[in-house]
């Protein structure tokens, strides 16, 4: 990699992406591979912030959460994202990358609270900033948190890392004739009810003119190619 198209990006990592082939939890080999790609991007001089989900950890307690009050379950999910954020921070530090975790929930003994000016300063200093606990509110997904934090920090693009290499005309696992969109507008993505991101996140990014790139984190080098603006995944634009 020689040059990046974007100076500041927001990477949205799903908790499920950390599982690898495991049923739930964190697969160490998977997170180590992801960290290698994050390190490569950071060394390009890209200011990188990350919003991480918690579905991999919360999935392990999902049977016990059935029938639970939605707000309570959402707060449990937020705490799962903090666990993932700490694991990612530790893996980055082991690779000599300085990382900071900021949480929308106050757990001062464990992580810093989210403070926008401090997050911006960390990014300018070349640190990776990991945003945990979503928006801090129930009923809002970590996709919405990614759109919100991306807008707040002035990111040039939101990189949505999934296990699928973009947005398709149909589910590629069920329909072998499905084709990948190279580009698609926010309005079309919302009207087609594409479920790669929730409608609130799409609408917020559309209103802020903040593009989204959907790509597969399981493809080697895909993150770097997305940062350099290559034809990787699907670009969702105004």
Query: Does 15 belong to an annotated binding site?
Result: yes
Query: Does 171 belong to an annotated binding site?
Result: yes
Answer whether residue 187 is part of any domain.
yes
Which pair of tokens denotes residue 199?
């409608």
Q: Using the predicted structure, report yes or no on whether residue 144 has a pLDDT greater than 60.
A: yes
CA–CA distance, 36 with 82 (Å, rounded to integer): 21
| 188-232 residue pLDDT tens | 988 888 878 888 999 999 999 999 999 999 899 999 999 999 989
Query: Does 216 belong to an annotated binding site?
Result: no
- Structural domain including 26 reads 8-237
User: Percent of the chain scored above 70 by pLDDT?
Assistant: 95
In this prediction the pTM is 0.92
Q: Using the predicted structure, report yes or no on whether residue 103 has a pLDDT greater than 80.
A: yes
SS3 52: strand
Answer whether residue 145 is part of any domain.
yes
Answer whether residue 3 is part of any domain.
no
Query: Does 54 belong to an annotated binding site?
Result: yes
Query: Does 162 belong to an annotated binding site?
Result: yes
Answer whether residue 134 is part of any domain.
yes
H helices present in 6-69, as ranges: 28-42, 55-58, 62-65
Query: Does 13 belong to an annotated binding site?
Result: yes
Query: Does 224 belong to an annotated binding site?
Result: no
**Where residue 63 sits, what CATH number does that domain have?**
3.40.1160.10
**Is the sign of the CA dihedral 173, 178, 182, 186 positive or negative?**
negative
| 38-68 residue pLDDT tens | 999 998 999 999 999 987 876 656 555 677 8
Query: Does 12 belong to an annotated binding site?
Result: yes
Residue 117 burial by Cβ neighbours in a 10 Å radius (0-12, 13-18, 19+): exposed
Query: Does 90 belong to an annotated binding site?
Result: no
Report the mean per-residue pLDDT for the chain.
90
Answer whether residue 221 is part of any domain.
yes
Domain count, the chain: 1
Answer whether residue 1 is part of any domain.
no
Q: Using the predicted structure, report yes or no on whether residue 107 has a pLDDT greater than 80.
A: yes
Answer whether residue 37 is part of any domain.
yes
Answer whether residue 142 is part of any domain.
yes
């Amino acid at each position: 990699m020689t040059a990046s198209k974007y100076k500041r990006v927001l990477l949205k990592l799903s908790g499920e992406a950390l599982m690898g082939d495991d049923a739930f939890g964190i697969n160490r080999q998977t997170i180590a591979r992801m960290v290698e790609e994050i390190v490569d991007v950071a060394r390009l001089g890209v200011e990188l912030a990350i919003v991480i989900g918690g579905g991999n950890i919360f999935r392990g307690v999902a049977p016990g959460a059935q029938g639970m009050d939605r707000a309570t379950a959402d707060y449990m999910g937020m705490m799962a994202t903090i666990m993932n954020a700490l694991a990612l921070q530790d893996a980055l530090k082991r690779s000599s990358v300085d990382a900071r975790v900021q949480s929308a929930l106050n757990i001062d003994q464990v992580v810093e609270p989210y403070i926008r000016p401090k997050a911006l300063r960390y990014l300018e200093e070349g640190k990776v900033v990991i945003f945990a606990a979503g928006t801090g509110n129930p009923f809002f997904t970590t996709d919405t948190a990614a759109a919100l934090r991306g807008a707040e920090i002035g990111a040039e693009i939101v990189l949505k890392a999934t296990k699928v290499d973009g947005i398709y005309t149909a589910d590629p696992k069920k329909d072998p004739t499905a084709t990948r969109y190279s580009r698609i507008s926010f309005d079309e993505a919302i009207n087609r009810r594409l479920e790669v991101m929730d409608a609130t996140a799409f609408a917020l990014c559309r209103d802020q003119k903040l593009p989204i790139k959907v790509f597969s984190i399981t493809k080697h080098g895909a993150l770097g190619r997305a940062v350099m603006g290559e034809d990787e995944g699907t670009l969702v634009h105004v």
